[in-house]
A = this chain, B = another copy of it.
């Protein structure tokens, strides 16, 4: 009755990526009155709903990273493990609700308690999974299967797994005494892996590096500098990009189908006339879809050439995805205000900021990968490789376009949302001419600096 875990992991990735992203909807659906200053409203949003979105996104990715680690040890599953994993997923999908409660009632301990409760139940299920899997060694990673030290491994993994629920237990106890401390502890949970890595680094500096035991290779996946499973990073990213692209049409379908009675009364029964009022929405939809699609395209091109994803690359990818998840907000803002109002310009600027950070973190992934290019990149995109310059051009296109547009909005007061969306739609053609452009520039450079070589 044992099965390959491949599809279980794909399904978990899909669930987790959707959960991480959908929390942008309450942010995007908040109505901003045109009379209000956009900047003030966004500040108000920032303190609650955007904070909920970002916290959910980060904590869910932490849960996802833990899930990756766990299923790097357990490589085959059976029915019982599949059901236990589904129970974990159910609790993870409930986490966004606890954050909503925390944001709406920051002074009330109930949100913290519910959150800690969920994490602690997950913290009970996961050790059960580990103990169950170690009692049936044929489910485990081959390295552990053949090892003689299984009990030792089991204890180590259980120790790592129980750190987070224990922190949450302490947080829930403190919530009754001094609840600000609980929030601090929850923030620590997100950064715990990095803190423990830092502590280990300090200890090594102080006492000199501890000699690695011959078995430490097996722990590779349980060390902070472990490589993430590249396949699962891709699956998770695909889920986020796909849900962001489709949230847009969902809004269109719910909001932009006119009422038959209104069409009859206001437009004399002409549906075409009624739909013309929605012109900016359609344009915004196509513009946003193109942006999401192309950001996915750049991500796809980048990860084609990545051979191993380090922890830092995973973190940068998470940051990039968190901004990609913000695009529905950008879509919502850009078509909401009358043309040439100050709010419209600020909405475009917010969009530019979101696109800029989403793409600049992608560029950062590449820079980090280049830093240890022997391990992480395919030879032809390494420095000096034939695809190197083209990859750089691809990755820097969106940051440049976003920055350029931002400054355009500062200079040109006539700049408007339709122009912005039209710009978004023309970017794919830039990708198509990019390869040509890079070739021409390279040929020119060669002609200028070494004209003798063929």
Contacts and interface: CB of A to CB of B under 8 A. Distances in A.
A293 B250 contact: no
Contacts of A29: 254
Contact of A94 (B18, B243, B249, B303): B249
Contact of A293 (B90, B100, B104, B248): B90
A83 B253 contact: no
Interface in A271-298: 271-272, 275, 285-286, 289-290, 293-294, 296-297
A99 B252 CA distance: 12
Given A10-B235, A110-B272, A254 B26 contact: yes
Contacts of A87: 428
Contacts of A303: 7
Interface in A230-254: 234-235, 238-239, 241-243, 245-246, 248-250, 252-254
A236 B242 CA distance: 12
A83 B246 contact: no
By size class, the interface of chain A is: 35 or more
Contact of A304 (B3, B238, B285, B432): B3
A329 interface: no
Contacts of A275: 110
B11 A254 contact: no
Contact of A22 (B246, B263, B301): B246
Copies of this protein in the assembly total 2
A80 B271 CA distance: 37
Contacts of A89: 245, 293
A99 to B, nearest CB: 9
A110 B250 CA distance: 20
Interface string A82-123: 110011011001101100110011001010000000000000
Q: State the majority secondary structure of interface residues on A.
A: helix
Nearest to A238: B11
A82 B271 CA distance: 35
B241 A25 contact: no
Contacts of A268: none
A205 to B, nearest CB: 41
B86 A14 contact: no
Nearest to A15: B242
A257 interface: yes
B100 A253 contact: yes
A257 B15 contact: no
A8 interface: yes
Given A14-B242, A26-B253, 9 more contacts: A7-B300, A11-B241, A15-B245, A18-B243, A79-B435, A86-B294, A90-B293, A97-B249, A110-B272
18 contacts: A1-B435, A8-B300, A11-B296, A14-B239, A15-B242, A15-B245, A79-B297, A79-B431, A83-B297, A86-B294, A86-B296, A89-B293, A90-B289, A90-B290, A96-B249, A105-B263, A105-B271, A108-B271
